[in-house]
Amino acid sequence: MIRVLIIGTGGMANEHAESYAAMDGVAVVAGVDPNAQNLHAFNAKHGITHAFDDIQDALAWGEFDAVSNVTPDAIHHRTTIPLLAAGKHVLCEKPLAVNAGDAEEMARAAQAAGVVNMVNLTYRNVPALMQAAEMVAEGKIGAVRHFEASYLQSWLTQPAWGDWRVEDQWLWRLSMQHGSMGVLGDVGVHILDFATFAAGSDTARVSCRLQTFEKTASNQIGAYSLDANDSMTMQVALENGAIGVIHASRFASGHINDLRLRLFGTDGGLEVQFENEISTLRSCIGGDMLTAAWTDVPLRAVASNYTRFIDAIRSQTQVSPDFARGAALQRVLDRAVCSDTDHARDQAV
């Protein structure tokens, strides 16, 4: 039996708990959250027997093997480091940290501890993305030359998931004071991983523009200063020589939660979509290039991040995306912020 501890009992923690509950030989044994009301409601909902308001109390108890860290971004570093020191396997929500220094320290600590470490970049669960990355690695589209990627949400213009004006789970994402990196850190990390993973190359240089829009007369709601970025555009040069554009926004009316990637190579192109919870992949390869004909690619099911995390613990092997990948992505995000702040043309990563 693999015993899992969940730290942070907000909305996303429910997906973690439900995913583990569906697995044989896995049990969520405790929750950790300083918010007692949230913690006890979460435990009651999922039948969890132990509750702690502090990570040190949970470590003193120690009756767990692995951890899902579902705390806000700014808390990932200080909650994960003691878990690694105690030899616990950790699946951490994205972004791994709020700056590259912290993310790199987490990656080094995980490697030194010899534990399974994974960043929950949830779109690695999308069959079309995984198959596109495999096709690129096999050379199906030749050398990648150009790409374009987008992650579009509209929860600032329509209450698809609730009303951001009155719900803390959305308000904190709009406030730098509460640890948010805005759309760049929240979904920008996803689409950056989506694009560069499929293209098979890390980022070499980046240029970025971030925009925070006025959402209330004072851009303040209660304790929340609404100063985190709402939209971002990024120009990216990859180490394999390809260039491309990435953009993301919470003001994309008509798109609740949609990702799209188009990759163009010397021998063909691929189009990856995850829209309305549906994953699709199309290709234009070989002779189809002469007529610009695009063909649907049949998809294979893929294991979820949660399943792969547990499988890695059982087999005592590492799994991707690991903390090193999370740190690499965070270095790009840090340079993107510098590019915007300094109005620089681009920044080496």
Model confidence over 34-89: pLDDT tens digits?
Answer: 999 999 999 999 999 999 999 999 999 999 999 999 998 889 999 999 999 999 99
Least confident of 68-72, 106-110, 250-254, 338-342: 338-342
Alpha carbon distance 230, 345 (integer Å)? 21
pLDDT higher than 80, residue 346: no
Band of residue 1 on the pLDDT scale cut at 50, 70, 90: very high
Fold classification of 123-348 (topology level): Dihydrodipicolinate Reductase; domain 2 (3.30.360)
Q: Which CATH architecture has domain 2-122?
A: 3-Layer(aba) Sandwich (3.40)
How many residues are given for the chain?
A: 349
Instruction: Specify the pTM.
Output: 0.93
- So what's the pLDDT on residue 348? 84
Band of residue 325 on the pLDDT scale cut at 50, 70, 90: very high
Q: What share of the chain is helix, strand, coil (3-state, %, to 5)?
A: 40, 30, 35
Write out the two tokens for 320. Answer: 């991707």
pLDDT higher than 80, residue 299: yes
- Which amino acid is located at 21 in the chain? A
Domain parsing of the chain, residue ranges? 2-122, 123-348
Alpha carbon distance 76, 84 (integer Å)? 12
pLDDT, mean over the chain: 95
| Residue 295 burial (C-beta neighbours within 10 Å; 0-12, 13-18, 19+) | exposed
Write out the two tokens for 166. Answer: 């009155």
- So what's the pLDDT on residue 46? 98
Write out the two tokens for 261. Answer: 């990637």
How many beta carbons lie within 10 A of that of residue 98, not counting itself? Answer: 22
